[in-house]
Amino acid sequence: MAIENILVIGAGTMGRQIAMSCALGGYATVLQDISEPALAAARTELESWAASRVAKGKLSQDAVDQALGLLSQTADLDAAARDADLVIEAAVERLDIKEEIFARLGKITAAHAILATNSSTLPSSKVAAASGRPAQVCNMHFFNPALVMKCVEIVRNDQTSDATVAAVTEVAQRLNKQPVLVNKEIPGFIANRMMGAINREALNLAQAGIASIVDIDTTARTALGHPMGPFELMDMVGLDVVDFIAQANYAETGNDADLPHPLIVEKVKEGKLGRKSGEGFYPYN
Ligand code: 3HC
């Protein structure tokens, strides 16, 4: 069954850029969110991003017009789900909400539809049963900013079929992304596990007063060739998200190394969540 229509649930930072990536890949894409203001904000941001791509000569006006024409938005999940061949859920990271969404999707989408979650902390096995079609459920984990980052982790659960893996791999390729397959569910998958290890070391170095966060970030950029230092990256991802990922990983592994780092806990307590709150490890205007 060829995938032609994609539904993306959740118009937040990730969902809106995933939806635009799908539209740029030539898929008829519906972005759904229960919040009309979130949908409107997403549309405004994507149109302005598209205009800047044209101004920079990175995309043609035709390509942008075509993508924006393929991208629609609605608050009505039932209507949005009717024609979907693939659903990518990028709603809030709460198991109860995701279970509810997957149970509903199991009823309102066509029987052939594949149901993927963009979650970085909840493996799809947690919502597979609720959907009633576990063989057609997996994680499709995109990275922030999703319009730029190439990697998509495709994580299969015990029941995910080969046909499902093949179909979502093909979609990721058509989005001009680089799919990687995670064969076994593990907290943090591949990328967040590696990022967690780097962040932990960086936080420990700073806490012990070995070097300033500026110098640690500078080292990551100029010695290791990372595009951003770990503190810059944590500020971009959101310190509440970093904290949540650590808590979720610790709940699964019980490994003390996965516990949220005290420096992160302190920042979150102070409401310093990174770029989105105006201050994290660095101040932002
Ligand atoms: N949305 C869309 N496009 C963006 C963007 C955004 N938020 N931020 C930057 N870009 C685009 C710019 O338009 C520019 O495009 P162009 O070169 O084609 O004109 C390009 O990205 C480079 O941007 P800049 O020149 O402004 O800045 P940088 O060269 O520093 O790149 C970056 C910015 C792409 C964010 C780069 O620093 C980077 O790759 N950082 C690491 C990001 C990363 O590690 N992401 C993963 C986070 S972990 C995660 O998402 C998992 C989750 O589960 C928590």
Identify any residues that bridge with 152 across adjacent strands, giving them in sequence order. 179
In contact, 206 and 219? CB cutoff 8 Å:
no
CA 127 to chain centre: 17
Nearest Cα residue to 79 out of 5, 11, 13: 5
CATH topology of domain 192-276: N-(1-d-carboxylethyl)-l-norvaline Dehydrogenase; domain 2 (1.10.1040)
Please choose from 148, 152, 233 the residue to mutate so as to test ligand 1's pocket, defined by most ligand atoms within 8 A of CB: 148
- Angle value at C-alpha 45, between 13 and 179, nearest 5 degrees: 45
Q: Which one of 3.40.50.2300, 1.25.40.20, 3.40.50.720, 3.30.930.10 gives the CATH number of domain 5-182?
A: 3.40.50.720
13 is in an annotated binding site: yes
What's the CA-to-centroid distance between 233 and ligand 1, angstroms? 10
CA-based nearest residue to 234, from 191, 274, 201: 274
Provide CATH 1.10.1040.10 ranges for the chain.
192-276
Prior bond of 145 cis (ω within 30°) = yes
Q: Could you tell me the mean pLDDT of each successive run of 10 residues in the chain, 285 residues long?
A: 94 97 98 98 98 97 98 97 97 94 98 97 94 97 97 98 98 98 94 94 98 98 98 97 92 91 98 97 95
Q: Is 279 helix (H, G, I), strand (E, B) or coil?
A: strand
Is 266 flagged in the annotation as binding? Answer: no
Who contacts 222 (Cβ-Cβ below 8 Å, separation ≥6)?
A: none
Close Cβ partners of 14 (under 8 Å, ≥ 6 residues apart): 90, 118, 142, 144, 146
ipTM exceeding 0.95, yes/no? yes
Residue-level pLDDT at 203: 98
Indicate which residues carry an active-site annotation: 120, 141, 153, 192
pLDDT at 139: 98
DSSP 176: T
State the distance between the two ends of the chain, measured CA to CA, in whole angstroms: 48
| pLDDT at 243 (0 to 100) | 95
- Sheet of strand 28-32: strand arrangement: 71-74, 28-32, 5-9, 86-89, 114-117, 137-141, 151-156, 178-182
Distance, CA 98 to ligand 1 centroid (Å)? 27
| pLDDT per position as a tens digit, 132-151 | 999 999 999 999 999 999 99
- Which atom belonging to ligand 1 lies closest to the Cα atom of 144? 50
Q: Please give the distance, rounded to the nearest whole angstrom, from the Cα atom of residue 250 to the centre of ligand 1.
A: 28
- CATH 3.40.50.720 maps onto the chain at 5-182
For residue 156, list its beta bridge partners: 138
Residues touching ligand 1 (Cβ under 6 Å) are 49, 56, 58, 120, 143-145, 147-149, 192, 195, 227-228, 233, 237, 241
pLDDT the model gives residue 11: 98
At 103 the pLDDT is 98
Angle between helices 191-207 and 262-269 (to 10 degrees): 90
Give the separation between CA 51 and CA 61, rounded to whole angstroms.
Answer: 8
Please report the pLDDT score of residue 285 as a whole number.
84
What single string gives the DSSP state of each residue in 126-195?
HHHHHHT-GGGEEEEE--SSTTT--EEEEEE-TT--HHHHHHHHHHHHHTT-EEEEE-S--TTTTHHHHH
Answer yes or no: is 33 a known binding residue: yes
